Structure 1
Amino acid sequence: MTYARRPATGPHTDEPRFPPQEYEQRLSVTRDAMERHGLDALLVTAPEDVHYLCGLDHQGHFAVTALVVPLDGVPVLAERAMETATATAQTDGVRHHGYADATDPADALLDALRQIVRTTRGAPRPAVVGYQADSLSLPPAVWDRLRTAKGLTWEDSGALLSAQRAVHTEREISLIRDAARLSDTAMAAGTAAATAGARENEVAAAVYAAMLRAGGDLPAFAPLVRATDRLDQEHLTWSRRPLGAHDAVFLELSGARGRYHAPLARLRHLDAAGAARDGRATETARAAMDVLRTALHPGNTAEQVFRAWHSAIESALGEPYERHHCGYLVGIGFPPGWMGGSRTLRPGNTMELRTGMTFHIQSWLLGGESGTHAFSDTALVTDDGCEVLTRSPLTD
C-alpha cells in the first residue's frame, strides 16, 4: 500500500474539484454516524459514495472498487491495479491497495479490512463492519466470501451515507446549477433538431454535441429520445426511425458537471393538431406540477409531495390515475443511472425533505381520454420552498 495525496488542481485543467477540507468534513460526519451505529469500519462500494468521500471519478467500476473507512486512521481504496494511477491522481487523503487481475477481489477487500481492524478498540471480538446491501457494485460472489470470513461481523449500513449525501453543500449546489445550464443547452439543441423527417438518433446526436461543446461531462445515463407512441416504454434511448409530421417527441436528458446531474424532460408536438388533441393532458400535467412545486418544502415527507401531485391529477381527471412516483433525489450519478439511489417521491416513503436536497420532479399523464403529456425539471429545496434550476421553456 502507498499513501498519495492529489494536488488541489491539475495542470491545464478546469475540472471541478473540492478542497481537501470538504472531504475531511464528509469523512468526519461519516465517522460520527459510524460511532453512533457501533461500526469499526465501513465498506463503501457504491460508486456515488466512493466519489463523495474521496473524489474518484472514472469508468472503472466494472471491476470491484471499494473504499474501506476505519473509525480512526486513513481510509484505504481497493482498486484494480491498473486503475491505481488514475485513482492516485484523483483522490485525496487515502491509501491505495491495488490488486492484480489474477487476484480474487474478495481477497483484496479482506486484506484491506483486516489491516484496518486488526486491533479494533482493543477488544478481542469480531470487528463490526458496515456494508451497502443495495449496492450494484458488490457482486454476490464477492459478498459470499466477505460475509463468511472469520473475525468480521456485518451490518447493513446502506442508509448511513445516502442520508448524508442527500443534502448538498453550497459547492455541490454550484455544480448542480452548472449541470442544469448544460441540460437547458442540450434540450434547446434537441428540440430544435426534432423536426419532421429527422431521425431519433440525429436528435440524440444534437443533444450530445451541444452538451459536450458547452463543457459538459459524460452523463451517467444516455439521453432518451422517442416518439410518444412509445412513451410508456420507459428508459429506451433512441431508434433510427424518422419522426413523422404528426408525431410528438419526448426528450429526457441530463447534463453533468463533476458527476453532478440535473435532469429534465420536455414533450414537443410536431403539429398543431396533435397539441390541441392533447391539450387537456398538457393543462392537467402542468397544473399538477405547480402543486408539486408548492409541496416540495422542508418538513414535508416524500409521500406528502406525491399525494399532493397525485390528488391534483385525479381531481382534474375526475377518476383514479396510477403512477408509481413523481420524482426522485438527484446529485452525484454514475452509470447505470443519474439518480444515484432510489429515494423517490412515492407512496410509503417517509423521508423528510430538507433544505439542500435536489429532486428530479416529474408530471406524467399517459393515455386516456384527456391525452398524453409528460415533462420534468430539477428543483432545489430551499428554506421556504423550492427553486427550479432547469429553465427550458415548456413546449406547445
Structure 2
Amino acid sequence: MNFSKTEYGNRLANIKRSMQEKGIDLLISQDTSNINYITGYDAWSFYYAQCALIHVDLDEPLLFVREQDAGGAFLQNVWSQENILVYNEKYIHTWPTHPYDRLIEIIKERGWDKLSIGLEMDSHYFTAYSYKKLVDGLPEATLKDAERCVNWVRYIKSDAEIDLMKAASLISVEAMNTAIETINPGIRQCDAVGEIQKAMFYGTSDFGGEYSSIATLLPTGKGTSASHLTATQERFVKGEATIIELAGVYKRYHAPIARTVLLGKAEQKKIDAMKATNEALNEGLDAIKPGNTANDVAQKFWSVLDKYEIKKESRTGYSIGIGYPPDWGEHTLNIYKGDMTELQPNVTFHMIAVMQFGSWGVEASHSVRVTDKGFEKFIDFPSDLFIKD
C-alpha cells in the first residue's frame, strides 16, 4: 500500500462530496489513473474494460475487473476483498457480448438502475461501445458526464504524493544526464533511447524506476519543428539539434522534463531562441503562488514572447501526478491564457515551452509544485541549450 488507509478514505470522501455537488449518485470511473487513485490497483490491464464504482451511500468503492486480472486486484486493492467484482473471461473480445453486460447486471441487481450515474466521457479506454452498452442497458438511469470529478480531486496532492514525485524527479535527472551524454553524432536514435530507458528503469539506489506513460520523445533535426516524435534507427547528425522529453516514474507518479541538445557549433538564432524561452519560463514561474491563476502564469509567460515577437499557440503547461499510457497529464489545469483555475499549495504541473520556428525548434520545461508562498522545482537541472561541439 503506497498510502495510508486514512489517505484513501479522505480521497473517497472528497470524491463523494464532488459527486453530490454534481448530482451524481453512482460514479463509474474507467480512467486508469483514477482507478489507481481510488483503489491502489496497478496493473497493465487497462487495455480492456475495468472500472471503479463509487456509490454516494457506500463506505467503500467497488473494483470491477476481468477474471484473469483478479489475482492482481486481490493483491493490490486497499479496500475489502468482497468489493472486488470479477467478470468472466467469456466477455473478452466476443462481440456483441461485452464486460459491460455484466456490469449492467450488477447495477440492476443492486437496484441502482434508476440513479443518476456519472461517466468519464472523455477518458482514455472508455469506449463508444461501452457507452452504448450503458445507454441501451440502463434506459431508466440518468447518464451524465462526471466532468472529471476524480481528476479534480487529484488536483491538490497530499504530502505523501509530493514525496513520490520528488523520488520520480531524481530518476528524471539520471535519465536526462544519460540522454545528454549518449546523444552524439553517428549514434542511432534507438540506441540512445535504449540507454535512456535503462536509466529510467534503473532509477537510483533508493528508488527504482517504472515504465513511463509516454514514450521518450526525441525529435531531431527538422523534427524539432514538430511535436511528439519518437526515436528511429536514423543516426544523430553533427550540426543538428535534438529535443529530449521524458519523465522519471516512481509508483506511477511522474516528473517530466524537456531539454534541447545541439551537436556542433550553435547558430545564434537557436541560442537566442533558447534564451527567450528560458526568460519566458522564468517569468511565468515567478507568477506561481497560491491565489494566482493559471491565466496569471500564462500572461507573464506570453508577455516575454510578445516582447521578442515570438508566436506560440499551444498551451505551456498542464497538471501532473499519477500517469498511465497514453498520457501523464491529469486533464485539469492548463497554463494557457483564459484558464482561471486557481493555484493552491501542492498543485503540481509541468510547465513546458515547445517553441517551433518553421524548420527547427527548441524546448525546455520544469515540473513544479505550488508552495505556501510560491513554487519549487522538482528537478534542479540546467535548462540552457546543451551544446556539444
Match of 1:292 among 268, 284, 290: 284
Question: Is 2:302 the partner of 1:310?
Answer: yes
SS state at 1:286 partner: helix
Match of 2:130 among 108, 117, 142: 142
* Alpha-carbon displacement from aligned partner over 1:167-197 (angstroms, at most 9, x marks no partner): 1000000000011111111000010001111
Aligned residue for 2:337? Answer: 347
Whole-Å separation in 2 of the counterparts to 1:247 and 1:221: 24
What letter corresponds to residue 119 of structure 2 in structure 1? Y
Whole-Å separation in 2 of the counterparts to 1:150 and 1:244: 60
* Alpha-carbon displacement from aligned partner over 1:83-130 (angstroms, at most 9, x marks no partner): 1111110111151111123232121221232344x2x6xxxx921111
Label 1:150 to 1:365 Cα distance change in 2 as closer, same or farther (>3 A).
closer
Whole-Å separation in 1 of the counterparts to 2:375 and 2:177: 24
Question: Is 2:87 the partner of 1:99?
Answer: yes
Question: Is 2:40 the partner of 1:52?
Answer: no
Note if contact 1:47-1:61 (Cα within 8 Å) is conserved in structure 2.
yes
Note if contact 1:43-1:69 (Cα within 8 Å) is conserved in structure 2.
yes
Whole-Å separation in 1 of the counterparts to 2:121 and 2:299: 29
Aligned residue for 2:179? Answer: 190
Q: Displacement of 1:368 after TM fit?
A: 6.6
* Pairs within 5 Å for 1:175-254: 175-214=164-203, 215-254=208-247
Whole-Å separation in 1 of the counterparts to 2:306 and 2:56: 50
Q: CA RMSD in A?
A: 1.8
- Following TM superposition, where does structure 1 have runs of at least 4 consecutive aligned residues deviating by more than 6 angstroms? none
* Pairs within 5 Å for 1:1-396: 8=1, 17-73=2-58, 74-94=60-80, 95-103=83-91, 104-116=98-110, 118=111, 126-148=114-136, 149-214=138-203, 215-271=208-264, 273-274=265-266, 276-315=268-307, 317=308, 319=309, 321-341=311-331, 343-367=333-357, 372-394=361-383, 395-396=386-387
More deviation in 220-229 or 335-344?
A: 335-344
Whole-Å separation in 2 of the counterparts to 1:66 and 1:372: 40
Whole-Å separation in 1 of the counterparts to 2:123 and 2:31: 5
Specify every segment of 5 or more residues in structure 2 that has no aligned partner in the other structure, as ranges. 92-97
Label 1:228 to 1:314 Cα distance change in 2 as closer, same or farther (>3 A).
farther
TM-score by length of 2: 0.91
TM-score by length of 1: 0.89
Note if contact 1:78-1:96 (Cα within 8 Å) is conserved in structure 2.
yes
Q: Displacement of 1:233 after TM fit?
A: 2.3
What letter corresponds to residue 226 of structure 1 in structure 2? P
* Alpha-carbon displacement from aligned partner over 1:326-383 (angstroms, at most 9, x marks no partner): 11111011110111325321233221111111111112332279x7421111011111
Aligned residue for 1:5? Answer: none
Note if contact 2:243-2:261 (Cα within 8 Å) is conserved in structure 1.
yes
Whole-Å separation in 2 of the counterparts to 1:60 and 1:112: 21
Whole-Å separation in 1 of the counterparts to 2:216 and 2:120: 28
SS state at 1:145 partner: helix
Whole-Å separation in 2 of the counterparts to 1:184 and 1:72: 45
SS state at 1:163 partner: helix
Whole-Å separation in 2 of the counterparts to 1:72 and 1:368: 56
Note if contact 1:203-1:225 (Cα within 8 Å) is conserved in structure 2.
no
Whole-Å separation in 2 of the counterparts to 1:294 and 1:285: 14
SS state at 1:254 partner: strand
Specify every segment of 5 or more residues in structure 1 that has no aligned partner in the other structure, as ranges. 1-7, 9-16
* Alpha-carbon displacement from aligned partner over 1:230-276 (angstroms, at most 9, x marks no partner): 013211110111111211111100011111001001101111x2254
Aligned residue for 2:94? Answer: none
Whole-Å separation in 2 of the counterparts to 1:282 and 1:88: 50
Label 1:91 to 1:337 Cα distance change in 2 as closer, same or farther (>3 A).
same
* Alpha-carbon displacement from aligned partner over 1:150-177 (angstroms, at most 9, x marks no partner): 3311221133211110110000000000
Note if contact 1:228-1:250 (Cα within 8 Å) is conserved in structure 2.
no
Whole-Å separation in 1 of the counterparts to 2:62 and 2:109: 10
Q: Displacement of 1:392 after TM fit?
A: 2.1
Whole-Å separation in 2 of the counterparts to 1:331 and 1:140: 27
* Alpha-carbon displacement from aligned partner over 1:273-310 (angstroms, at most 9, x marks no partner): 22544121111111111101112222222222222111
Whole-Å separation in 2 of the counterparts to 1:209 and 1:145: 42
* Alpha-carbon displacement from aligned partner over 1:38-91 (angstroms, at most 9, x marks no partner): 322111111111111101111111111111111122322111110111111011
Note if contact 1:247-1:270 (Cα within 8 Å) is conserved in structure 2.
yes
Q: Percent identity?
A: 25
Note if contact 1:78-1:108 (Cα within 8 Å) is conserved in structure 2.
no
